[in-house]
Amino acid sequence: MRKKWIIGIVVTIIIVCGALWYYYSQYSGEMDVYNTHSTVFGDYHEENITVIVNKPHIEDIQACAEEIVERCRNNDFDSVLFSYDESIPNELHATAYLNERDLKRGKAIFSLSYEQETLNSEYNIVEHPEKFKLKISEEN
């Protein structure tokens, strides 16, 4: 009887440790860029990024989208450094995922566009944020 108790406790510990490891591996860390694609035509620069949020859920999608835009404007993601010395984007598009597993499944949380009403290469996302509007599309 005592042996069954010990085996049960060991199995429980292994399951709990496995669950904690899974949770930590999926949701630890900060928001970061997974992929980036720039398109430049003439003097117009469009930036498309894929972001991993690294959270179990998003309570405020608007705030999360604003944080993505702000981090792009400040160029302060850990894994990517945008080359704003060459050109600063005149338009930004992003798709956000909770974790890398959801990215591989194609299960996005939302997409955003940070763009001007009319295309104008004089204005960029860093120096003229007042000229841009944030549009969010929630994924289903």
Give the closest residue to 73 by CA, choosing from 132, 138, 121, 8. Answer: 132
- Do 51 and 8 touch, CB atoms closer than 8 A? no
Q: Which residue in this structure is represented by tokens 């999360």?
A: 64
Summarize pLDDT for 25-44 with one digit per residue, the tens: 555 568 999 999 999 888 89
Q: What is the pLDDT of residue 18?
A: 65
pLDDT average, residue stretch 2-17: 76
Give the SS3 label for residue 86.
Answer: coil
Q: Determine the distance from the C-alpha atom of residue 97 to the mean position of all C-alpha atoms in its chain, rounded to a whole number.
A: 6
pLDDT average, residue stretch 78-82: 87
- Do 37 and 93 touch, CB atoms closer than 8 A? no
Q: What is the pLDDT of residue 119?
A: 82
Lowest mean pLDDT among 2-11, 61-70, 96-105: 2-11
The residues, ordered by sequence, that sit 6+ positions from 70 with a Cβ below 8 Å of its Cβ are none
Summarize pLDDT for 58-67 with one digit per residue, the tens: 899 999 999 9
Distance CA 17, CA 27 (A): 15
Tokens of 87: 């050109």
Q: What is the pLDDT of residue 20?
A: 62
Reported as a pLDDT band with limits 50, 70 and 90, residue 24 is low
Give the residue with greater pLDDT, 82 vs 133. Answer: 133
Cα distances from 8 to residues 3, 4, 5, 121, in angstroms, run: 9, 6, 5, 66
Q: What is the pLDDT of residue 140?
A: 62
Domain map (residue ranges) of the chain: 1-28, 31-138
